[in-house]
């Protein structure tokens, strides 16, 4: 640490601006190797931990664990912080960023649906774990928040976070403020439900392929951009709009990752040429009948398959990790099958 202090002094003498947070190197360093943007976690942690350049005792025990910087109790090498330790502001910043990365890695391995969360949701949990331990999920005392995360009951997570505030202690008031800030960050970062453009009366089989069924899915995607696969009837457009609305929900559920359509409408000639079943849902053969095969770029398709199974009441064909078949028939019956 002494060497870092000497280096900091030398750099400041040579160029007092080079260590500024507005410099290009800082953005590269602070985000290097990350899979997410945890700026919100960093902001919360710094706000509630404060920066202490001299080690101080735990407020509950009056002794160990000693803390330094922005809530650091162990240095990156693993050594415990000891009474009397001193560090610089730069070291404090490095320590907290290193720990955030380590916590994010741990949570990504233990918390269900992590990859489907937005950066803000992940940041809220990182701040929570920074304060209470990265191994909280599934352990004794954390049953409520573990249940909410496991069941993907995301609207109930803020109230679950609030439970962990050491009731009746001299730190409860401060922890409650922190828990509420984490809960608000989580709530404000939930994936937004899209305003789906479901007005088939304004979209017809002859509409441009660029016309949008939903904010992110076009009419042309159901035809794979091929004129030979263009819809022939209005009821086909209506069914496509229903399917696209569900695809939009899936996109939102998995963090806004792009939905890739691999098969939509197959006119009879096309269906025969690809070896499709005679009664394939891809024929869109009547009102309320149709199908789309898709995958979500960057998502675990087994998880996508499971989510669709829980949320789509009609036809579902299992083909993960390659694709999911999403369809419906006029009778509205639930159907499931496996392509393997």
Residues known to be catalytic: 49
Torsion-angle region of 118 (φ positive above 0: left; ψ -120 to 50: alpha; else: beta)? beta
Burial of 81 (0-12, 13-18, 19+ CB in 10 A): buried
Query: Helix 39-49 and helix 119-132: axis angle, to 10°?
Result: 30
State how far the Cα of 242 lies from the Cα of 214, in Å rounded to an integer: 10
For the chain, helix, strand, coil in percent to 5 are 45, 10, 40
- Residue 198 is encoded by which pair of tokens? 């479901």
Q: How many C-beta neighbours within 10 Å does residue 191 have?
A: 18
Residue 15's alpha-carbon distances to 19, 22, 28, 65, 222, in angstroms, are: 8, 14, 19, 37, 58
């Amino acid at each position: 640490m002494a060497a870092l202090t000497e280096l900091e002094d030398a750099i400041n003498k040579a160029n007092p601006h080079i260590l500024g947070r507005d410099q290009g190197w800082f953005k590269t360093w602070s985000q290097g190797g990350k899979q997410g943007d945890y700026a919100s976690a960093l902001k919360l942690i710094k706000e509630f931990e404060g920066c202490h350049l001299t080690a101080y005792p735990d407020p509950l025990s009056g002794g160990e664990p000693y803390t330094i910087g922005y809530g650091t109790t162990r240095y990156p090498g693993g050594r415990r912080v000891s009474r009397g330790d001193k560090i610089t502001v730069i070291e404090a910043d490095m320590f907290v960023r290193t720990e955030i990365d380590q916590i994010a890695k741990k949570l990504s391995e233990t918390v269900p649906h992590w990859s489907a969360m937005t950066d803000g949701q992940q940041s809220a949990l990182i701040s929570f774990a920074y304060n209470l331990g990265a191994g909280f999920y599934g352990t004794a005392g954390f049953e409520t928040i573990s249940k909410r995360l496991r069941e993907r009951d995301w609207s109930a997570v803020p109230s679950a976070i609030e439970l962990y505030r050491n009731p009746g202690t001299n730190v409860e008031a401060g922890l409650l403020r922190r828990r509420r800030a984490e809960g608000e960050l989580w709530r404000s970062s939930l994936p937004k439900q899209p305003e789906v453009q479901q007005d088939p009366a304004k979209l017809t089989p002859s509409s441009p392929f660029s016309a949008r069924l939903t904010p992110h899915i076009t009419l042309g995607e159901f035809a794979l951009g091929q004129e030979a696969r263009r819809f022939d009837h209005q009821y086909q457009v209506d069914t496509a709009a229903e399917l696209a609305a569900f695809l939009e929900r899936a996109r939102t559920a998995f963090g806004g990752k792009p939905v890739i359509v691999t098969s939509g409408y197959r006119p009879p000639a096309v269906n025969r040429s690809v070896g499709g079943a005679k009664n394939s849902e891809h024929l869109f053969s009547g009102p309320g009948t149709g199908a789309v095969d898709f995958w979500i770029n960057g998502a675990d398709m087994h998880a996508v398959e499971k989510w669709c199974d829980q949320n789509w009441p009609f036809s579902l064909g299992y083909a993960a990790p390659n694709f999911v078949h999403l369809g419906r028939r006029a009778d509205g019956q639930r159907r499931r099958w496996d392509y393997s």
